[in-house]
Amino acid sequence: MKVSREQMAENRRRILDAASVLFRDRGFDAVSVAEVMKAAGLTHGGFYGHFGSKDDLVAQTLAHVLAADAGGDTEIRAYLEAYLSPRHRDNPAAGCPTAGLAAIIRHQTPAAREAMTKGLRSQIGRIETSLPLANPANRRQTAIGSWAAMVGAVILARAIDDPALSDEILEQTRAWIEAGIEDGSAL
């Protein structure tokens, strides 16, 4: 039975969505192609109709999830509130792919690293756009520093076993970034 173009596109989206959840939750090496296909509700045999290899799947999944992650609220305080929250920290499978995968991306293919680079540029641009009142000479520096602090805070908050310190890391990072925006020191 021949599958329509529309169905092929839908199947591919399902595979990418399933892979993005599994990769963010468990990392690249801990997830097999068979697991991705099962999570997508498809048979393992159909994989190679969409991707040339697992490395290809990794790169395309990163591009897919980072493009989706770049959308959303552009108001900086709302973004900080959502990003530096216990809910985001506690749900890595549906959370930021940068915070979940940045530390292990260096072991992936050039195509995967290129996708991460493109996603990073997009997020920096998103934050720059959310700072229209910032001094233009400092706007990019503020965006890069804020994004690095946000990602780092989530990584650290997820890594430790002390809930109070984990919450404090999120809260203090958010307060530090907001203070820089409010008093102009980061602008």
Tens of pLDDT, residue by residue over 76-130, are 899 999 999 999 999 999 999 999 999 999 999 999 999 999 999 999 999 999 8
Residues 10-26 have a mean pLDDT of: 96
53, amino acid identity: S
pLDDT at residue 74 greater than cutoff 60: yes
Question: Distance from CA of residue 40 to its chain's centroid?
Answer: 20
Q: Which residue from 150, 139, 26 is spatially nearest to 79, judged by alpha carbons?
A: 150
- pLDDT recorded at residue 70: 66
d(CA 127, CA 180): 14
pLDDT at residue 139 greater than cutoff 60: yes
- pLDDT recorded at residue 135: 81
Domains of the chain, CATH where assigned: 5-183 (1.10.357.10)
Mean pLDDT, the chain, integer? 91
- pLDDT recorded at residue 14: 97
| Residue that has been written with the tokens 């490395």 in this structure | 55
pLDDT at residue 49 greater than cutoff 80: yes
Any long-range contacts for 22-28 (C-beta under 8 Å, 24+ apart)? 22/93, 23/58, 23/61, 23/97, 23/100, 23/101, 24/65, 24/92, 24/93, 24/94, 24/95, 24/97, 24/100, 24/101, 25/92, 25/93, 25/100, 27/101, 27/104, 28/58, 28/101, 28/104, 28/107, 28/108
pLDDT at residue 184 greater than cutoff 60: no
Q: Which of 37-46, 67-76, 88-97 has the lowest mean pLDDT?
A: 67-76
Residues 158-164 have a mean pLDDT of: 97
- pLDDT recorded at residue 183: 58
pLDDT at residue 25 greater than cutoff 90: yes
For residue 1, name the pLDDT band (cuts at 50, 70, 90): low
pLDDT-above-90 percentage for the chain: 78
Burial class of residue 185 in the structure, from the number of CB atoms within 10 Å of its CB (0-12 exposed, 13-18 middle, 19+ buried): exposed
Give exposure, 68-94, as e/b (b: 16+ Cβ within 10 Å).
ebeeeeeebeebbeebbbeebbeebee
For residue 134, name the pLDDT band (cuts at 50, 70, 90): confident
Residues 40-60 have a mean pLDDT of: 94
Q: Which residues contact 82 (CB under 8 A, 6 or more apart)?
A: 73, 88
d(CA 116, CA 68): 13
pLDDT-above-70 percentage for the chain: 94
